[in-house]
Structure 1
Amino acid sequence: MSVELKTPADIEKMRIAGKLASEVLDYITPFVKPGVTTEAIDKLCHDYMVNVQGCIPAPLNYAPDGHNPYPKSICTSINSVVCHGIPNDKPLKNGDIMNIDITVIKDGYHGDTSRMFYVGEVSEHARRLCKITYECMWRGIEKVKPGATLGDIGYAIQQYAESSGYSVVQEFCGHGIGKRFHEEPQVLHYGRPGTGLKLEAGMIFTIEPMINQGKRHLRMMGDGWTVATKDRSLSAQWEHTILVTETGYEVLTQSAGTPAKPSR
């Protein structure tokens, strides 16, 4: 596995792209409410990225091997949708939970982040899933430092999720990122301590656990992109882009509206 170590110049560009991606989520937050369509949210985000930030929405027309081009500028994954939900004309309902996943390209560099959103009044069990998933992501982030391994990250996430009564999606994972949307390494959200790639300063990758309220198994929807839980249970996801520094980690996808690191 060839993992590219980023130069100081690369890192500075990645900080800019990461902050811009996070600022799209800040911008869209007040618009997420019952009755609004995800198509409208997609258009608002698209226009903000292109016209205000001068960015390119990375998902739009993204077509990895074997996939049709992705038709929208963001991913909106609601309730039992695990990831890659395509915005559409169906209005959001009171009680929905939704992940909005943003990836921008600025000056050739990608910034990638996602957050969970509550639509109106959300049930306590849905809130708990979103909270535990956020804490899972941070448990993984806190393991990042030179000399640690990818298995350390995956184990921290899996152990916390499963001890909280949830399951970890295994088919989708975090990834290296830079001038390309998806690079090496693959960052699994499960694993064993001390196994896998050893981390080095200059690596940049996402940590983005998908945690299910029910079983971990998935089903692919007919559009070829949308992935949902097989048992139709709720799923949640949070994502940050992380730089391995000389002494630990730096979160590159932060802005004024980013939720605070959870206290332990």
Structure 2
Amino acid sequence: MNDTILTAQADISLDPMDGTLVSQAYRDVCHRLNAPEGLIEARENLARADLARVDDHARAHVSPPLGLDSGQAGLFAPETPAPSINVCILALDLGTKTGYAVRKRDGKVVHGTQSFAPRKSWTDGQRWLRFQSWLAEVLELHHVQRIAYEHVSFHAGVRDAHCYGAFRALVEMAADRRNIELVGTNVQTVKKHWTGKGGADKATMVAQARARGFRPETDNDADALAVLDWAVAQERAA
């Protein structure tokens, strides 16, 4: 026999996966197939099985979206989901620590806080580039059709005003680029809608979120949930 042609048994002796489940499957097929053509088929079957095993492993270890850890990647919604709506809505509490809440058409909600606090190693534009990239990921992942946000008209300092303006400009650009409806409302309207008081403080906003069955990470998170609830109410009233 030509030295370049290996029998099934000879090829098995060089099997680097000897002793594994995949190797055993390879042996079972090879024992049934003796021709070179059969050996090729066996190798193809093995390759398909191995690729499927790798693919299953990759799916089991995929990172959760939106920068959430494994415990946060689920749906933070009340035990009984609310009735469905006609659009998927993203609500934002814009700032260095941006609160977000996404309500899908089936009534399920994903929410959290994303920090864009600058680091010493960042250049001046890094904060805005990172926010832009994160926002694009959220919009595409959830197929957002409407963005609701708090329209803040007063800031305690110039720096805060500049930051808010930059975040809002990026949201406006993202919405315009994707033909997504953009809806703003003032802070007092959201607070009154959520708690019944237009001057509610942060603790009250968080407490109300918890009373409704959510687990907000921060007050920014709770504010985004409040904006989302307001936006949903507007959609149902339309």
Higher relative contact order (CA 8 A, sep 6+): 1
Structure 1 or 2, whichever has the larger Rg, is 2
User: Do both proteins adopt the same fold according to a TM-score greater than 0.5, normalized to the shorter chain?
Assistant: no
Q: Which has the higher strand share?
A: 1
Q: Which has the higher helix share?
A: 2
- Give TM-score, length-normalised by structure 1: 0.24
- Give TM-score, length-normalised by structure 2: 0.26
